[in-house]
């Protein structure tokens, strides 16, 4: 199976990957991250897209998964500390993925992982799947809303959604997102403070992650589920006090248990529904596993539970990162101030010089800053330049004289106009570049979809052009060709329908199968050896991909060129039952498009009308064609049917073989007809000819295959032989 796992790296993700990989499934991961943070091992492909990505339909369609496991309550990519904002993001992402699934031809099983946190009120009775809900935290409310979304898609779109509501999960943590369970808070207190707090009268149950994964896998692979919601839990009561002592056994004698007063509170779920349907034994016990988990945490996972010194080191790392970001932000300001120093020195040197008297270094400085950093920095540079100018002018003039000189204001105006204009142009240019970059990124993400759509449109356009120019496939031409079936006898219609399809679809390989029962179809007519490649008898329900299409009254197109499948197939129905299956091969790839499938559908309908007319005619004459109350064809009817088969065989449309039985006395003939008829298939015929002997027409059977029927008849006491003089 191709299975998609959604979520960030944590204990549940690692356990599911391990289980699915062990069972030989192909795993895809949708990480809900824009940037790859973790590279998963032992998976087929990883998609680093957020759940609300507008291309989610294309992603899901390209994978065509058999199942999707949405980690939901155990998805570490959501930061529930952000509150309602994260709950909205959770719901939007779930709906986007569900919408993408509902658009697939065959919707995958969608397994949604929920949590027992949707029940919070104390109850002496174990909660069943549809008891009253009472979520309180933002996470629990969002998860409960997710359950309702899955239920709505099942009711509205018949999506194969299943909610797996799990108990408090425990096991070795992989990432910080595993640490939301109460047990890990108790472990953290025990490791850091040496004291594990435990409240009185607090009763719950917990489920080891390995047992949880086994339950999930059972729901994943079961074809038909009786329900849409299952509680997955151990049903083993555990008080906080017992839990604290189990953890103490793993942490060592240096840790103490501190009892706290609290009101009685009991929240447990019932696994009765799952147990009745699947059994499902819980293998991991608290006594064995909880001390091992505590010991593992103490020895290998102090990065999450360790002393405050480790936290301080982590905080220092975060501080350095923030300091780096701060330095990057103030760098333009530092550059503006530092570059002012050489500008000030050059301006002082240029004053009074015959060579540089007309060169304004302050103006060049402001212009340079505006070009590099934009309008904001150009204003700071302009202020510094004005300050430098006033400082230099005071060498020869008083401050009052400088301020009264109108040339000063003209120069300042000129300086700021140049700086602001150039800086504004720089900022606008940067905005344009950013917008272009964002648009390019968006367009690149659409290239694949646009290319596929365009390719399909081009194929349809070329096909329509060919129809208009050559008129081979015009509606008039189609009707003209299919109408030719009216000239044939009722027995011959289905044979020549294969020839009609060969002419209409422009291929030499056409097969028509007649549906014998709910699962099997019998080859009736074929135009080539390739068209007979699937055999005379076909269990078409085993061709699951094709069957899903034709059973829903759609044309199947084998775009991936899978072996053992026709290139195109369509089913013809009568009174709600599948009667015929049309299959074609030998079509060029560019003609495997919507236009060709529509042509096949129209041709099939027209042929079906001719076949139905022939069948009704045969049914109307049934009383005159068969000997009363038997399966024995009258001489005229049998000869007509035999001529049709022999003519079709001569044109390469079918294979047939005729067996002749020995002379049977008149009084024994009814008994012989009854016994022989029971050994024949629905597609074989028993009849009589002029010589008075009984003959058997075996459709789609060669002389080698007829030996089996001959031996069966000999066992009944009716020796037979192949009749070769059939002219």
pLDDT digits (tens, 9 = 90+) for 623-667: 557 777 777 888 787 887 777 777 777 777 777 888 888 888 877
Lowest-confidence range among 172-176, 203-207, 234-238, 692-696? 172-176
pLDDT in tens, 40-59: 777 878 888 888 888 888 88
Instruction: Tell me phi and psi for residue 428, to 5 degrees.
Output: -65, -40
Identify whether the C-beta of residue 126 lies closer than 8 Å to the C-beta of residue 275. no
Res. 318 pLDDT band, cuts 50 70 90? low
Q: How far apart are CA 515 and CA 492, in angstroms?
A: 18
pLDDT value at 237 more than 80: yes
Q: How far apart are CA 196 and CA 199, in angstroms?
A: 10
Whether 2-170+206-235+270-284 shares its CATH topology with 491-618 is answered no
pLDDT in tens, 400-455: 776 777 777 887 888 888 888 888 888 888 888 888 887 787 677 667 656 655 66
pLDDT, position 163: 93
Res. 68 pLDDT band, cuts 50 70 90? very high
- Provide the CA 398 distance to its chain's centre, in angstroms: 80
pLDDT value at 111 more than 90: yes
pLDDT, position 182: 76
Identify whether the C-beta of residue 195 lies closer than 8 Å to the C-beta of residue 189. yes
Lowest-confidence range among 225-234, 302-311, 410-419? 302-311
- CA distances for 466 relative to 65, 469, 509, 595, angstroms: 37, 5, 21, 11
Task: Determine the 3-state secondary structure of 231 from DSSP.
Answer: strand
Mean pLDDT, rounded, for 193-216? 88
pLDDT, position 491: 54
The yes/no answer on whether domain 623-722 falls in CATH 3.40.50.360 is no
Identify whether the C-beta of residue 660 lies closer than 8 Å to the C-beta of residue 618. no
**Element containing residue 17 per DSSP (H, E):** helix 11-22
pLDDT value at 164 more than 90: yes
pLDDT, position 69: 94
Q: How far apart are CA 271 and CA 234, in angstroms?
A: 8
Res. 194 pLDDT band, cuts 50 70 90? confident
pLDDT value at 70 more than 90: yes
Please report the DSSP string for 52-104 in residue order. T-TTHHHHHHHH--SEEEE-GGG-TT--GGGTHHHHHHHHHHHHHHHHHHHTS
| Structure-derived torsion over alpha carbons of residues 113, 117, 118, 121, reported in degrees to the nearest 10 | 160
pLDDT value at 162 more than 90: yes
Mean pLDDT, rounded, for 359-375? 83
Q: State the Cα angle at 115 between 114 and 118, rounded to 5°.
A: 105
DSSP bridge pairs for 5: 29, 69
Mean pLDDT, rounded, for 102-125? 89
Give the residue among 177, 159, 13, 164 at the shortest CA–CA distance from 97. 159
| Structure-derived torsion over alpha carbons of residues 405, 409, 412, 416, reported in degrees to the nearest 10 | 180
Which superfamily does 2-170+206-235+270-284 belong to? Answer: NAD(P)-binding Rossmann-like Domain (3.40.50.720)
Q: Please list the helix, strand and coil fractions of the chain in percent, rounded to the nearest 5, in that order.
A: 55, 15, 30
Q: Give me 484's structure tokens.
A: 């030719």
Res. 708 pLDDT band, cuts 50 70 90? confident
pLDDT, position 475: 47
Mean pLDDT, rounded, for 198-216? 88
pLDDT in tens, 560-604: 788 888 888 988 887 777 888 889 988 887 677 777 777 788 777
Mean pLDDT, rounded, for 340-363? 75
Mean pLDDT, all residues of the chain: 79
pLDDT, position 492: 62
Domain ranges of the chain: 2-170+206-235+270-284, 312-439, 491-618, 623-722
Q: How far apart are CA 206 and CA 181, in angstroms?
A: 10
pTM over 0.85: no
Mean pLDDT, rounded, for 137-154? 90
pLDDT value at 621 more than 60: no
Identify whether the C-beta of residue 157 lies closer than 8 Å to the C-beta of residue 264. no
Q: State the Cα angle at 468 between 557 and 451, rounded to 5°.
A: 45
pLDDT, position 369: 85
pLDDT in tens, 480-504: 555 555 555 555 666 667 777 787 7
> From the CB of residue 368, how many other CB atoms can be counted at a distance below 10 Å?
16
Pick the CATH number of 491-618 from 3.30.70.270, 3.30.450.40, 1.10.3720.10, 3.90.550.10: 3.30.450.40
pLDDT in tens, 73-89: 888 888 887 888 888 88
pLDDT, position 309: 47
pLDDT, position 112: 94
Res. 177 pLDDT band, cuts 50 70 90? very low
All residues at 6 or more sequence positions from 237 whose CB lies less than 8 Å from its CB, including other chains: 203, 204, 205, 268
- Provide the CA 234 distance to its chain's centre, in angstroms: 31
Identify whether the C-beta of residue 286 lies closer than 8 Å to the C-beta of residue 242. yes
Res. 465 pLDDT band, cuts 50 70 90? low
Mean pLDDT, rounded, for 141-153? 91
Task: Determine the 3-state secondary structure of 204 from DSSP.
Answer: strand
Q: How far apart are CA 676 and CA 686, in angstroms?
A: 8
- Provide the CA 117 distance to its chain's centre, in angstroms: 28
All residues at 6 or more sequence positions from 351 whose CB lies less than 8 Å from its CB, including other chains: 392
pLDDT, position 232: 92
The residue that leads in pLDDT, 559 or 368, is 368
């Amino acid at each position: 199976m191709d299975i998609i796992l959604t979520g960030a790296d944590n204990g549940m993700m690692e356990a599911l990957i391990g289980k699915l990989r062990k069972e030989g499934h192909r795993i895809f991961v949708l990480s809900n991250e824009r940037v790859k943070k973790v590279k998963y091992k032992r998976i087929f492909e990883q998609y680093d897209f957020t759940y609300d990505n507008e291309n989610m339909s294309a992603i899901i369609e390209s994978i065509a998964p058999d199942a999707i496991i949405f980690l939901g309550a155990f998805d570490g990519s959501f930061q529930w500390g952000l509150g309602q904002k994260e709950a909205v993001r959770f719901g939007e992402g779930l709906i986007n993925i569900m919408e993408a699934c509902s658009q697939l031809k065959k919707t995958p099983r969608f397994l949604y992982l929920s949590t027992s946190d949707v029940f919070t009120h104390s109850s002496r009775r174990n909660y069943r799947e549809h008891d009253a809900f009472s979520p309180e935290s933002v996470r629990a409310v969002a998860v409960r809303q997710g359950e309702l979304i899955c239920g709505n898609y099942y009711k509205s779109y018949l999506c194969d959604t299943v909610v797996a509501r799990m108990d408090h999960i425990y096991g070795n943590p992989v990432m910080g997102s595993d640490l939301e369970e109460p047990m890990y808070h108790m472990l953290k207190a025990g490791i850091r403070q040496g004291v594990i707090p435990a409240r009185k009268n607090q009763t719950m149950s917990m489920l080891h992650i390995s047992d949880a994964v086994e339950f999930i896998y059972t729901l994943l692979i079961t074809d038909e589920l009786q329900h849409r919601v299952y509680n997955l839990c151990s049903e083993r009561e555990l008080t906080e006090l017992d839990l604290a002592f189990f953890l103490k056994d793993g942490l060592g004698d240096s840790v103490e248990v501190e009892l706290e007063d609290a009101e009685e509170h009991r929240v447990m779920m019932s696994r009765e529904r799952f147990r009745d349907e699947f059994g499902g034994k819980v293998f991991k016990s608290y006594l064995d596993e909880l001390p091992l988990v505590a010991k593992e945490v103490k020895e290998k996972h102090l990065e999450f539970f360790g002393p405050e010194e480790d936290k301080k080191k982590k905080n220092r790392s975060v501080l350095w990162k923030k300091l780096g970001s701060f330095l990057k932000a103030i760098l333009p300001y530092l550059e503006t101030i530092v570059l002012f120093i050489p500008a000030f020195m050059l301006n002082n040197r240029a004053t009074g010089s015959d060579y540089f008297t007309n060169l304004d270094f302050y103006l060049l400085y402001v212009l340079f800053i505006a070009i590099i950093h934009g309008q904001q920095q150009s204003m700071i540079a302009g202020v510094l330049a004005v300050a430098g100018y006033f400082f230099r002018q005071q060498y020869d003039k008083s401050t009052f004289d400088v301020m009264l000189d109108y040339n000063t204001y003209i120069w300042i105006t000129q300086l700021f106009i140049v700086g602001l204009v150039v800086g504004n142009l720089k900022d606008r240019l940067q905005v344009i570049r950013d917008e272009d970059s964002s648009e390019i990124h968006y367009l690149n993400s659409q290239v694949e979809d646009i290319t596929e759509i365009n390719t399909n449109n081009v194929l349809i356009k070329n096909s329509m052009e060919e129809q208009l120019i050559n008129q081979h496939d015009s509606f008039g031409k189609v009707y003209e060709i299919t109408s030719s079936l009216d000239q044939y006898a009722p027995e011959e219609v289905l044979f020549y329908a294969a020839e009609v399809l060969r002419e209409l679809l422009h291929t030499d390989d056409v097969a028509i199968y007649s549906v014998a029962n709910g699962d099997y179809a019998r080859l009736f007519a074929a135009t080539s050896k390739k068209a007979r490649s699937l055999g005379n008898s076909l269990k078409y329900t085993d061709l699951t991909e094709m069957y899903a299409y034709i059973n829903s009254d759609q044309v199947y197109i084998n775009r991936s060129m899978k072996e053992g499948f026709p290139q195109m197939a369509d089913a013809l129905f009568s009174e709600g039952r599948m009667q015929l299956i049309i299959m074609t091969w030998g079509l060029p790839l560019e003609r495997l498009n919507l236009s060709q499938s529509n042509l096949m559908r129209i041709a099939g309908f027209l042929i079906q009308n001719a076949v139905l007319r022939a069948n009704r005619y045969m049914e109307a004459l049934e009383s005159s064609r068969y000997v009363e109350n038997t399966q024995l064809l009258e001489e005229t009817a049998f000869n007509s049917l035999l001529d049709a088969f022999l003519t079709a065989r001569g044109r390469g449309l079918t294979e047939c073989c005729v067996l002749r039985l020995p002379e049977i006395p008149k009084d024994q003939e009814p008994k012989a007809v009854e016994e022989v008829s029971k050994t024949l298939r629905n597609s074989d015929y028993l009849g009589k000819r002029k010589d008075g002997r009984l003959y058997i027409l075996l459709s789609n059977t060669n002389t080698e295959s007829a030996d089996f029927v001959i031996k069966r008849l000999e066992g009944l006491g009716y020796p037979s032989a192949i009749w070769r003089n059939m002219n």
